């Protein structure tokens, strides 16, 4: 299989990416097609669907060995489940599946047609293998059992971003960041209130610490300014 497109998302690294799609609906991303697939005819009718399926590659795990059992973050990272009973990225074949909201189709850009989506859970640059429409009467099963993930994880951290720091971001980006941080991006087994974490978000580096149920942003650095200063 070869990629038909790549995604441009707010996440330049794996750390901090939502563990499922649509958890942070305010996040946006662009799907940019490879030159051989920049044919607007291939997208005819797609704007009639509000959600689409993305079939993509866990590109950062290509050389990682798979294991028959994994430790899902949902279970605190302490209990093992079979890999095929989870959505772990460490699989025999590094293939991911996400349903995302389609908000706009850009027909003519300098890079051909593009799709604007909301709620991505993919790292920036992730290869997309295929795109299919989401069809509620076949794809949605309200009475389905969901095993250990049967109920939403509604526990969220209280997020504090001091005013002098929050002014670094525009209001829309700031709201997305708040929603993202409230999900607690740390590994599930970390619990050090003095540890400072760094979360890449767009071209910013977000530094924060977590004390019990309270997440405090300590600084936001603009990597664009940093890189320009090194030239």
Question: Could you tell me the pTM of the whole model?
Answer: 0.86
Indicate the number of domains in the chain. Answer: 2
The answer to whether 52 and 117 have CB atoms below 8 angstroms apart is yes
Any domain includes 132: yes
Rounded percentage of the chain residues whose pLDDT exceeds 70? 96
Question: Of 86, 52, 54, 44, nearest to 69 (Cα)?
Answer: 86
Considering the domain architecture, whether residues 11 and 112 belong to the same structural domain is answered as yes
- CATH assignment at residue 210: 3.30.2310.20
How far apart, in Å, do the first and last CA atoms of the chain sit?
38
Using only C-alpha atoms, what is the Rg of the chain?
19
Who contacts 210 (Cβ-Cβ below 8 Å, separation ≥6)?
157, 184, 186, 193, 197, 216
pLDDT at res. 231 = 44
Considering the domain architecture, whether residues 65 and 179 belong to the same structural domain is answered as no
- Asked if pLDDT for residue 38 goes beyond 60, the answer is yes
- Asked if pLDDT for residue 132 goes beyond 90, the answer is yes
Which of these three, 112, 139, 166, is where a domain ends? 139
* Three-class SS state of 180: helix
Considering the domain architecture, whether residues 188 and 96 belong to the same structural domain is answered as no
Tell me the C-alpha distance between 47 and 40, whole Å: 12
For residue range 160-178, what is the model confidence (pLDDT) as tens digits? Answer: 999 999 999 999 999 999 9
Any domain includes 134: yes
Domain that holds residue 33: 5-139
Considering the domain architecture, whether residues 62 and 106 belong to the same structural domain is answered as yes
Considering the domain architecture, whether residues 133 and 164 belong to the same structural domain is answered as no
For residue range 47-89, what is the model confidence (pLDDT) as tens digits? Answer: 999 999 999 999 887 778 888 999 887 787 778 999 999 988 8
β-pairing, 28-33 with 5-8?
antiparallel
């Amino acid at each position: 299989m070869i990629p038909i497109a790549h995604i441009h998302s707010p996440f330049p690294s794996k750390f901090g990416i939502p563990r499922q799609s649509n958890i942070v609906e305010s996040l946006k991303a662009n799907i940019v097609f490879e030159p051989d697939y920049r044919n607007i005819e291939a997208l005819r009718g797609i704007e009639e669907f509000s959600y689409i399926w993305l079939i993509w590659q866990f590109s950062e795990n290509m050389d990682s060995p798979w294991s028959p059992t994994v430790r899902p973050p949902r279970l605190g990272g302490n209990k093992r489940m079979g890999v095929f009973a989870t959505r772990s990225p460490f699989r025999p074949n590094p293939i991911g599946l996400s349903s995302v909201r389609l908000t706009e189709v850009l027909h003519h850009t300098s890079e051909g047609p593009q799709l604007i989506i909301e709620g991505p859970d993919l790292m920036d640059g992730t290869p997309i293998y295929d795109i299919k429409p989401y069809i509620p009467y076949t794809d949605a099963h309200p009475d389905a059992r969901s095993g250990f993930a049967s109920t939403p994880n509604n526990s969220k951290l209280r997020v504090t971003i001091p005013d002098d720091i929050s002014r670094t971001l525009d209001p829309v980006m700031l709201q997305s960041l708040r929603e993202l941080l409230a999900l607690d991006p740390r590994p599930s087994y970390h619990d050090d209130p003095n540890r400072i974490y760094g979360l890449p978000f767009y071209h910013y580096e977000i530094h924060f610490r977590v004390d019990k149920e309270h997440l405090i942003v300590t600084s936001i650095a603009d990597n664009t300014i940093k890189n320009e200063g090194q030239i």
